[in-house]
Homo-oligomer: A and B are copies of this chain.
Amino acid sequence: MTTSQSKSLSKLIYPFSVAIIGASANKKKIGYEIYKNIKKFKGHIYLVNSKGGNIGGNKIYSSIISIKDEIDLAIIAIPATYVIDVIEECGKKGVKAAVIITAGFSETGNESTEQELLAVAKQYGVRIVGPNSVGIANNDITMNGTFIMDSKKGHISFISQSGALGAAIVYKTIYENIGFSKFISLGNMVDINFCDMVEYLATDNDTKSIALYIEGIKNGKRFIKIAKRCSLKKPIIALKSGKSNSGSRAAASHTGSMAGDDDIYEAAFRQAGILRADTIDDLIDWANVFSLNKTTGNRVAILTNAGGPGILAADECEKQGLIVAKLSKETSEKLKKILPPYASTNNPIDTIAQAGYEEYIKSLKILQEDTMIDAILAVVVVPNFTNIGMTVHARALVDGWDKEKTLITCFMSGEIATASMRYMAANDIPCYPSPERAAKALGALWSYSRWYNEHKNKDTDIPNRN
């Protein structure tokens, strides 16, 4: 990436001033949704609509040209026929980045207009996200430049080729208390594509992992080359759809690009250190495990207050290539001393339901001191029928964690686990609703760790921005 390219992307993702072109007081318009969402943004906001007027006392400029101040980013939601003219105006005004929400370009067969749009943008050096994007959001600066709901603040940056799936995933993460740093809906990718965004986000200080939803990539070789370098900086997790025959045909029709032979993607992803997710759940679960921001070894201790879930966790750990380590006699003896009489001090360590705050604090300490254990997987069935309290284990895990040993958690029990899961999220400890999903996420962390350790000494030429 050249310095000027990187600057344009900075204006796109970290703008000081944003113009909403097509801003509208009409609640049936997308231009209203974007206006409503952008209001929380702490930078300068300019509303533009050829009809002029105002929204809630805020002036609407009749064109971007008529704004005197500098504009970093234009978000455009106007009828397709006017988009090219507006991009030209943006160019003349010196705007370096634009997100085009407007649909009706290549995705509806209108290839030529889209190419014309690109030509004008290039002429003026305006970088484009879209068209046919649901927008971009950067929670690091409280900017929701989309027409969908706010995502939670966190450290995953999520880039989606499909707007609707992107929205559905954002809504899922709100529900599951998982936070995003950036959300980028790429739309038709006439200009800015996965390569540009991955390269940019690899040096973003607020991003801990990069999640991608991909239907098809046009410049595969370049992408893999870039991803391989960037994976050393930030773990990349990708959900690539169109594996099947019917799915591949549909992807081709949906995005207009060939989905391509799945085996080629598979091999390329492996080479580039990209973790390939099988499902939407995997994509977010795995991206979220990197809130720990570290690598791990593969010797796992499973700490649980219920036998059954511990066994399921052990099964999935082994399936993921993790080792459910045999505990040393010393560690086992130490645990025996502090746990209730009928607890099991093998691995999985079954503290039984009677164990509460003190037992969990002490168990964690013992396991953290054991150098033969790399990671602790805590699986808690939140009790509502003992006198222990429903959030005691969550509290103990946060209080007792040394922030050195890898700690992954699972809190089962639906609604009554919510407080515990939120407490974990607030403390950047990865947390999952089932033992299998927790163990799979730990497996992804281990899989990345192996790749990272193999490749880390090969210098990456991407400078850090911090």
Q: Which residues of A contact B (CB under 8 A)?
A: 28, 30, 33, 107-108, 147-149, 160-162, 164-168, 171-176, 213, 215, 239, 241-247, 249-251, 253-255, 278-281, 305-312, 314-319, 324, 341-342, 344, 346-348, 350, 353, 381-382, 384-385, 387, 412-417, 433-437
Contact = CB atoms under 8 A, between A and B. Distances in A.
A213 B385 CA distance: 21
Contacts of A165: 306-309, 312, 381
Q: Which of A244, A311, A387 has the most CB of B within 10 A?
A: A311
Contact of A436 (B171, B280, B344, B382): B280
Contacts of A33: 385
Q: Which of A245, A247, A436 has the most CB of B within 10 A?
A: A247
Given A242-B315, A324-B244, A346-B253, A171 B308 contact: no
A308 B412 contact: no
Sorted nearest first, the 5 A-B pairs with minimum C-beta distance are A175-B414, A162-B308, A165-B308, A164-B306, A246-B324
Contacts of A164: 305-309, 353, 381
B436 A279 contact: yes
A278 B439 CA distance: 13
Given A33-B385, A384-B149, A251 B415 contact: no
What is the oligomeric copy number?
2
A213 B308 contact: yes
B175 A241 contact: no
Nearest to A168: B412
Contacts of A30: 385
Given A241-B312, A242-B315, 20 more contacts: A162-B308, A164-B306, A164-B307, A164-B308, A164-B309, A165-B381, A167-B413, A168-B309, A171-B412, A171-B416, A173-B414, A241-B315, A242-B311, A244-B318, A244-B324, A245-B318, A250-B314, A250-B344, A250-B348, A279-B436
Contacts of A147: 385
Contacts of A412: 168, 171-172
